[in-house]
Amino acid sequence: KQEVTQIPAALSVPEGENLVLNCSFTDSAIYNLQWFRQDPGKGLTSLLLIQSSQREQTSGRLNASLDKSSGRSTLYIAASQPGDSATYLCAVRSGGSNYKLTFGKGTLLTVNP
């Protein structure tokens, strides 16, 4: 059974700092991995999707990497801003016949002005 862990559970940084959020998964036979952002009281917004054959994806100040063999992914946020404050969730899609997404519990990020 796939398990996804995100460390740390919470992170507080000053504005402008570069930061890294970590995600690990137990079963390396994944199809792809997705990073989401969740704002309080809102749904999830997809940030980046990395296919299993890819090593990284970039969107603006965000860069996500994937090391399938070691079961790890990182989300790098450059020059953090207060508007980046949210919960970041990592989700792994396993292969096979049903392509289920298994989510980590998230990292609550606070960027202080």
Partner 1 sequence: DAGVIQSPRHEVTEMGQEVTLRCKPISGHDYLFWYRQTMMRGLELLIYFNNNVPIDDSGMPEDRFSAKMPNASFSTLKIQPSEPRDSAVYFCASSLGSADTQYFGPGTRLTVL
Chain residues binding partner 1 by CB under 8 A are 31-32, 34, 36, 41-46, 49, 89, 91, 93, 98-101, 103-106
Q: Give least dist CB 38 to partner 1, A.
A: 9
Cα separation, 8 vs 25, whole angstroms: 15
Beta-carbon contacts of 95 under 8 Å, excluding residues fewer than 6 positions away, are: 29, 30, 31, 52
Q: Give least dist CB 44 to partner 1, A.
A: 4
Nearer residue to partner 1 within complex by CB, 1 or 83: 1
Q: Give least dist CB 16 to partner 1, A.
A: 30
